[in-house]
Structure formats: structure tokens, C-alpha cells
Structure 1
Amino acid sequence: DGSPTSSSRSSGGRDSSVSSSSSSLDSSPSRRRSSYKKAKSSVQNSTDWRRTDQERVAIFDATNSTRARREWILEECTAPHKRPGRPTGIVFVESICDDQELLEENFRFKVRNSPDFEGMTEEEAMDDLTKRVRKYEEQYQTIKNDGLSYIKVYNLSSKLMVNHIYGRMAKIIVPALMSWNIGSRPIYFCRSGETAAGLESGSSLGASPGALGGSSLGVQPDAVTTPQASPWATNAPGGPPGRSAVRGLTLSPRGIRFRDALCEFIRREGIEFMRHQKHAAKDLSTGTSVNGLMNRVGSWGHLKALCEERAMHDDDGGVEEEEGIEMFPFPCHVMSSTMPRAVQTASWDSSPHPVSELSNLNPLDKGDYTGHELEDISTFDPEWYAALTNDPFRTRFPGGECYGDLINRLEPCIIDMEQQVGPVVVVSHVSVIQALVAYFRQTPVTECTGIEVPLHCVLKFEPARG
């Protein structure tokens, strides 16, 4: 719809606009006039939206497929008299597809799901769409001006051409474009299991009435109060408990039962995922998984047998292991924080998949206040607590992090998750999962501090195909 999308990031003191060359396929004069009118309104909205002290990125998704249209965008967004004192960077993203099989698949997906083709048979819709594409190709002008900053994506990121892309764009935008794919696969999030000291056994988020109260920030469940932990002040003897006392705990018997139940749940989910892949052995072999499609599972024969319903099943639709068939005959990317309780939750004896232990998935670092609940902090540091209450997203723990810091270190993990073509399992902690949930359900990340993440519960997301 061309509306600006917020993604607040620093970019060397400049605004950055990413403009997509994707377009509608109808080239009739009335549609072109309507498209230009909407584009003009959207560009104006995006420039107005960026007139703040905050660094912002706007994504302008419209028909930018001619030199004239691109020159108009540059004039509107970068001309000094139109953007005084606010230099703006423009990056054009052009998607090019000349793979006939891929085009055929995408066309069929479009005609089956777009309201534009209601009342038509699939053959009629395909013929209509093909004619529109040919008409569009007559007017299409690829980007040839190497003085522009642009990224060309070929055949769904099988190849990228990058020109004049520097700094943050090279670090974040390019890897993200390489990672996004149209495949539908499940992504599972869960907190690490309960520990012997009840580290993760606090009340559910948002349970405390009245504003922040410990759990609504995701702080209380990741902290532990010991009998020796009294209100802390600088130079007070004893101080907060050592970080090892908070972070080095392992699972309780209840936490171990959750780990085993999680293993069985993921096994069943993964097998069901493979059964829904009609041509799993063929399609998965062309994916973009960072670990490769085999991902250290059994042979493709096992996968093929499973997809042909010869592998394992019972009368109730459940799954049983058959002789010669691996327990996890499907690709699966398992990620966890480096906290022992998280690694233990993600480590399953029957799984051939390695666990990627990533410090990026560690809980929000509370610095000097590690081991204290917010109720304690409000007593011995009321000024800082007031700042936290006013802005829970950007208020940094002394010697630690704020949620904004957490978002920045999660970017590589999100790119890793996005590029997978098979199931992904993430075992982490409240603060991290809050941020990830906000991303995958497309809600403002600044509001993530109020998202509930219950203990011993799995959250499943399935990015929609296309």
C-alpha cells in the first residue's frame, strides 16, 4: 500500500530510505495515474514521518520500474530545498526473476490467492496474468545507473548485485535480503526449563497489577532473590549475588520433564512438517539454509520414505519409531543461549541436530542489578526505577543493557532464523523471546516489554508463504 514502515536505526547521521522496484502488473493508463497519485501521497507521508530528531528508515513499496519514476523519487527525497538540514540516503531494491519454473510457481500462487482473479478458472487467470506481465515488460527499465545506490536480487536471492552500499546497509540490509525466502516453515520459541532454584518459575508476565512490576518487563523471571540479597547500595558489603549464582543453574526435575516433552513435541512437529512437503527431497535441496539442507540428519532415503508415508505412523495419527528410520529424519536448526539451563533444555539425546549456543540469545544483562527484583530496585534506586517506568525500552540497567541494546544484538540471530527452510527451535529467556515475538508477529518492538512468555510453553510461528 506504499505506507511508510518504521524501523528506527542509526545510520551515520543520515536518514535512509529503501525503495522497492516491485510493482503492480496492470499497465493500463487509469491504473498508472492511480498508482502515481498514491505514490506521490506515500512519498509525502514518508518524508513528513521522517521529520523528527530520531533516525528513521522508510520502505516505499511502489511501481518504481522506470528511470523517470526513480529520478522523481530522488528529487522528492534528496533535493536540499525539499529536505533542508536532513540529508537522506536512497537505496533502490530491484527484484529480477528469469527462472521459468519459479515464475510458473509464483504465478499459480498469485492467481490462486489474489482477489483480482475471482470468478476465473486457473487457466483463464494464468493467461490474463501472463498478458499483463508481457505488457509490463514492454515498459520496464532495469537500473543501469551505477551512480545510484542499489541492490539487485535475482531469483529470490540466489544471486545479489550490490552497488554503492556502505555501513549499516551492508551489514544488515544485504544479509536480510539474502535470508528472506517464501517458504513456509515453523519457528518455535520457548523459555529454558525450571531450575533447581526456581530461577524460571516466577509468575507469568503481566501478572502483577499496576505497571511494570517485575514480570511485565521480563526481569523477574530471569532473576533470583536469595535470602542474603538485601537492598543494595554502592560499596555495600555483600552486594548483589555473583552472576554465576544467577546464571549457572541447571534444570530441576520438572525442568527436565519439560525438556523431554519438548523433544517429543518437536519430533512430531518436524515429521508432520515433512509430510506436508509434497516434494520434500527435491524442494529442500534448493533452499538457503546456512547449515545445508541435510543438516546432519539421516539419509535422503529416510526423508523420502517418510514423505511417502512408509516411515512411521500409528492408527491415531501419532508417530512411532520404525527400525532403520532415524528419530529426527528432518532438517532442524536448534538455537539456545549460552546459559546452562537453556543449553540443557535444547539438548536431546535422541536428536542428531547440534545446538547452536549463542551469547546473542542470552537474557537482558541487568549489570549491577543482576539478582535483584524490580521491587528491590525501586527501594534502593528510586530515581533509576522512575526512569525505567517512564521508558522501559530505552532505560539501561547500570553496567548492563536496555531493550534497545538487546534488539541490536538479536539482528544476526533473526537473519539466521529467516534463512532457514526447515523447522527452527529457539530456547532462550523472557526478554529475548519478547523481542523475537514482536518481530515475527509484526508489532512495534518498543511495546515488547509487555508481551507474556509463560514458563514451560512453546510459542509457534509460521511465516506465511509469499
Structure 2
Amino acid sequence: MSSNDYNPTPHVIPEGQNATPLEVVGGDVTSTEKLIIVMTGLPATGKTHIANRISRYLNFFLDLDTKIFNVGDYRRRLFGSNLPAEFFDHTNKEYMAKREEACDMALKELIEFMSMDGVRVGLLDSTNAQKQRRDHIRETLGVLKCKILMIETICDKKEMTHPYYKDMADDEAFADFERKRKNYEDVYNPVDEKDGSHVKIFNHQTFVVHNTRGYLPQKVVHFIMNLHTMPRVFYLSRHGQSEYNLSGKIGGDSGLTEAGREFARRLAVFAQNTVGMSIERDSESGEEKRSPCPARLWTSTLRRTKETAQYIKHNLIKFHKWDNGDEVEWIQFQPRARRNLDELYAGVCDGLTYKEIEEKFPEEFARRQEDKLTYRYPRGESYMDITLRLEPVVLDIERTREPILIV
């Protein structure tokens, strides 16, 4: 019996360009569905870092055409990079005019970018310290009729992470930093309700969200509330060789071969000695001090990834202290299986070799060869589908403090 006999009017999933999930397609949009993010805050409070993270997230995971316009880059392009401290003196009319020129150039190119078809998000990265400047930005961008979201970063802690200060003591670095941004502090006006829709970020720990509505603004708010500035690392490991790998079949849920189990044993050694180990060097003797540090383990729900992680030890680390002061007993590498990490599901082609797919489904094989990124297997997934289901994992990675081993 053919499919036409029992399903004469099937629900046909389109292939090619239309295989992309609707939620991640930029598509044709109106100006009111576009978003402009205006960063504001004193120097060295994380504005550029946050802007870059937002841009990468929107570009890759939501497939939205996004671009950053850094006013400092325009200023350096116009007037050079080694500018005296007086250049940032707000009482100096000559220098203020030059800084406004750099801002207007950035705004001009931002407007040109946002006027293009398919473009969704633009970010203006600058201190924008005075309400007068922010009002000027809103008035200038008014011709676009786009949504505008202000993001203000506030940092009053004496921890300096800027590379310029890596070889300086904290107190010395903070004193130097304070001298450089004093010119901005003298005239700084915090963002308030008159600035419209905005988010205030205090030390990357406290968030105030005001009058923020709509799909894109809410996506941005959710993302930045998971960000932090603490250094951490994550490791990506392929599973060991599976029985289906050996036979050339795709998908399935087979176990490991002997070679795959040997890989798993070696991965366990790497996890214990590298991923779950903190290494500190004594500043005087130069000797390394190694001590266990809390680490996480994520796998997919498939047998081959769980078996790859089977030899990793789960020791107890007592009284691990979170950055908020809470103390907990930590189980090292406690396994967490996540469906989001599963391999692409090949639908009706699951368990076949590529040669068998070419023979049984020649048209599907040809479509996949034309565009592997957006091609969706019949009753299966496309790589764009995987990108969409990985978004929650990315948010978890962003908010996690400990090293993560992902199999």
C-alpha cells in the first residue's frame, strides 16, 4: 500500500528555503517590528561586551540581521586613537563638537542600515551619558519609527577586568580608572522613565526592566538577564565511535564499539585532570597548585553519548560557595541528559546509510546536497531546527559559572 492510498491529502512540509522554522526567519517586516538598542553607561561598565553578546545571539540563534555601531570607532576613525584626557572634557566646546560629529556619523549609518529590507536590529554603543544626548538620539532615530530600547550598565564594584589593568593591583587600577571617567561622571544623567523603554543593569546582578514590550525586546531582556562577566570555559566532545558509525548508518541509538569505549575511558581522565581541576600558580615560587573545582556534565539523551560519559567519576565536593554567598554540597560531573543536544533526527532516513538514502529516496538525497543547512528530512529535522532547539542550552551556558563538559 502506497502513502497515497491511506493519506490522499498529506500535510506536506516544504523543503529548501521554507524549511527554516518560522520563528527564526527574518523575512519581510514592518518598521515597527524592528528594534534599535541604545547602550548607555559610564566607561568600562560592560556596554561593548553586552552589545557584542546580544549581536551574536540575535545573528546566529534567531537568524536576525544585526549590526553594532560603536561611536568610539567612528571617533577614532575621524580624530585618531591617542586622544588627550581633555578631549572628553564636556566644558570644551571644540572637543564636544567633534564628539557629536562622531555620534552623528554613527547615527547616519545606523539609519541607513535599519532602512534596508530584512534588517531587524541595530545597536548604538556609546556612553550617552547626558539626557540631552539621549534625547538627540531619539529625535534623530524618529524618522525610522522603530522600537527603541535603552540598556544602561551600572558598575560600582572595585574589580577591574579590562586588559589595560591586568598587571595592576585592584586599588591602583580602580584609582586610574576613576581619573579617566571623572569627566563623564561630572555630567552623567542616569536613565529614567523619561527615556522610555529601558533596562538598568546593576553590577550584572540586579536588573530593572521598565515598559518593555514586544517579541524582540523581551528576547533581548531574557538574554541579558542570563549574562554575567565571570570567566568560565566549556568543553565540547564528540561521542565515542558507535556501532552505527562503524557501519556508516546515520542516526539511530546504538551503543559504543570497543574503540568508542576506549575513547570514553580517556575522556574520563581528561575530565578529572583538566575540566574539573583548578590550577593556580604561586606568584613567588612559580609552582602550580592543583585542586578540584566544581564542574558540570551535559549529554544528549542518546545511548552513545551517555556511554561516552560512563567512566567519569562523580565525587562529592563539600561546601562549594556560589557567587551569591550560598554554600552547597556539590556532586562533581552530575550527569544531565538533554533532549536539546540530541543529534539531528533523520526521520524516515534514520538508520540508513547515505548510499541507501540515495537509492531509496533519490529526490531527497538531491535536495540535501543542494542545501544541507535548511534541508529537512521527511518527518525529521533540519539543521535550522537544531539551531532553534539549542537556544535554551545557550541561555543555560550563559548563566552557568562552572566549567561544563558537553558530550
**TM-score interval w.r.t. the shorter chain?**
0.5 to 0.7
Any conservation in 1 of the 2:34–2:121 contact (CA below 8 Å)? yes
Shift in alpha-carbon separation, 1:276–1:166, aligned structure 2, 3 A:
farther
Higher mean C-alpha displacement, 261-270 vs 24-33: 24-33
Query: Which is worse superposed, 257-266 or 385-394?
Result: 385-394
Which secondary structure state, in structure 1, belongs to the residue aligned with residue 159 of structure 2? helix
SS in 2 for 1:174: helix
Query: More strand per residue: 1 or 2?
Result: 2
Q: Residues 339, 90 of structure 1: CA spacing in aligned structure 2 closer, same or farther, 3 A cutoff?
A: same
Q: Match for 1:340 among 303, 308, 318?
A: 303
Shift in Å, 1:274? 4.7
Of residues 111, 114, 117 in structure 2, which corresponds to 1:50? 114
Q: Matched residues in 1 for 2:109 and 2:220: separation?
A: 23
Report if the CA contact (8 A) 2:40-2:128 is conserved.
yes
Mapping 1:77-156, distance limit 5 Å: 77=141, 79=142, 82-83=143-144, 87-98=145-156, 102=157, 104-106=158-160, 109=162, 111-112=164-165, 127-145=175-193, 148-156=196-204
| Residue of structure 1 equivalent to 2:61 | none
Determine if contact 1:393/1:403 at 8 Å carries over to the other structure: yes
> How many Å apart are 1:110 and its aligned residue?
5.0
Q: Distance between the aligned counterparts of 2:98 and 2:372, measured in 1?
A: 43
Residue 21 of structure 1 is matched in structure 2 by 40
CA distance in 1, matches of 2:225, 2:282: 23
Task: State how far apart, in whole Å, the 1-side matches of 2:185 and 2:116 are.
Answer: 39
Find the residue that maps to 1:198 and give its secondary structure: helix
Match of 2:278 among 273, 288, 293: 273
Local SS of the residue matching 1:273: strand
Q: Which amino acid aligns with 1:399?
A: R
Q: In structure 1, how many angstroms separate the alpha carbons of the residues matched to 2:386 and 2:102? A: 37
Q: When the two structures are superposed, what TM-score results if normalisation uses the length of structure 2?
A: 0.66
In structure 2, what is the Cα distance between the partners aligned to 1:17 and 1:94?
Answer: 14
Cα distance in 2 between the residues matched to 1:31 and 1:406: 50
Q: CA deviation at 1:386?
A: 5.2
| 1:417 has 2:397 as partner | yes
Alpha-carbon distance between aligned partners in 1 of 2:95 and 2:382, rounded to the nearest angstrom: 47
Give the Cα–Cα distance (whole angstroms) in 1 for the partners of residues 361 and 337 of structure 2. 34
1:65 to 125, 129, 135: 129
Counterpart of 2:67 in structure 1 is none
SS at match of 1:131: helix
Indicate how the Cα distance of structure 1 residues 386 and 61 shifts in structure 2: closer, same or farther if over 3 A, else same.
farther
Q: Distance in 2 between matches of 1:170 and 1:378?
A: 45
Aligned position for 1:193? 240
1:37-92 Cα shifts (integer Å, max 9, x gaps) = 33333333333333444252222211222222222332333x3xx33xxx522111
Equivalent-residue separation in structure 2 for 1:44 and 1:386 (angstroms) = 45
Deviation digits for residues 341-360 of structure 1 (CA, Å, limit 9, x no counterpart)? 11222333522432121111
1:172: Cα distance to partner?
3.3
- C-alpha spacing 1:71/1:359, structure 2 compared with 1 (3 Å): same
The percent identity for this pair of structures is: 23
Aligned residue pairs total 316
Query: 2:252 aligned with 1:247, yes or no?
Result: yes
- Closer, same or farther: CA 185–24 of 1 in aligned 2, 3 Å: closer
Q: Superposition RMSD on alpha carbons, in Å?
A: 3.5
Q: Shift in Å at residue 131 of structure 1?
A: 2.1
SS in 2 for 1:160: strand
Confirm or deny: 8 A CA contact 1:111 1:126 kept in the other structure: no
Per-residue CA distance 1:238-263 (angstroms, 9 max, x = gap) = xxxxxxxx432111221111111111
- Distance in 1 (alpha carbons) for counterparts of 2:134 and 2:112: 19
Partner of 1:396: 376
| Corresponding position of 1:184 | 231
- Structure 1 residues 273 and 46: CA distance shift in structure 2, 3 A: farther
Residues in 1 aligned to 2:146 and 2:240: alpha-carbon distance in whole angstroms = 47
Q: 1:262 aligns with which of 264, 267, 270?
A: 267
Unaligned runs of 5+ in 1: 1-7, 115-119, 203-222, 225-245, 279-306, 313-328, 428-466
Name 2:349's counterpart in structure 1. 369
Cα contact 1:251–1:341 (8 A) shared by 2: yes
Q: Which amino acid aligns with 1:175?
A: H
